[in-house]
Structure 1
């Protein structure tokens, strides 16, 4: 009988908790684009589509923990936006 695929769910059936520091490695392991923990934190603070409000995140000391099973669909469906370099634009001329 073939082995069943490994599930990412904890054996106890509880949430799969990760911190901002764990997110870059988890994204890469899931086959997604790796982004820095600072960018993950920025998305959590600024993106209205972030699935877990920061005030609802589980806190352990100063660390915030999030359920990976809730975050993974967010990162899979998120359209990355490249920043614009303002230093390369010519100065605007007044008419």
Structure 2
């Protein structure tokens, strides 16, 4: 079996919690994101790179291949909720 470090083998699988940790530790997001935020993006963004049928159920968590998710967030333009709106007095 080829060594995973040589480009063969199985992809590195990560949960939504781990994805959020990696995104927050790296320079991917302008502000912190939670696992729920990542899950929301996965379920609503049509450009999400991992189709639902490729998610792997592990216990009570879902795991996805890290590389396509990482590339998605590297290339993603910042969206989010937008600026805070001021109320008129």
- TM-score, scaled relative to structure 2: 0.72
- TM-score, scaled relative to structure 1: 0.69
Q: What is the CA deviation profile of residues 29-57 of structure 1, one whole-angstrom value per residue up to 9, with x for unaligned ones?
A: 44222421111000011000000122321
Kindly indicate whether the alpha-carbon contact (under 8 Å) linking 2:54 and 2:64 is maintained by their aligned counterparts in 1: no
Aligned to 1:13: 9
Shift of 1:88: 4.4
Quick one: distance in 1 between partners of 2:15 and 2:86?
Answer: 36
Q: Runs of 5+ in structure 2 lacking a partner?
A: none
Shift of 1:65: 0.5
User: Given the superposition, is the C-alpha separation of residues 29 and 88 from structure 1 closer, same or farther in structure 2, using an over 3 Å criterion?
Assistant: closer
Give the number of the structure with larger relative contact order, counting CA–CA contacts within 8 Å between residues 6 or more apart: 2
| Aligned pair partner of 2:28 in 32, 36, 55 | 32
Moved over 2 A (4+): 9-13, 28-31, 84-90
User: Which stretch of the first structure deviates more once superposed, 67-76 or 30-39?
Assistant: 30-39
- Compare CA radii of gyration and give the structure with the larger one: 1
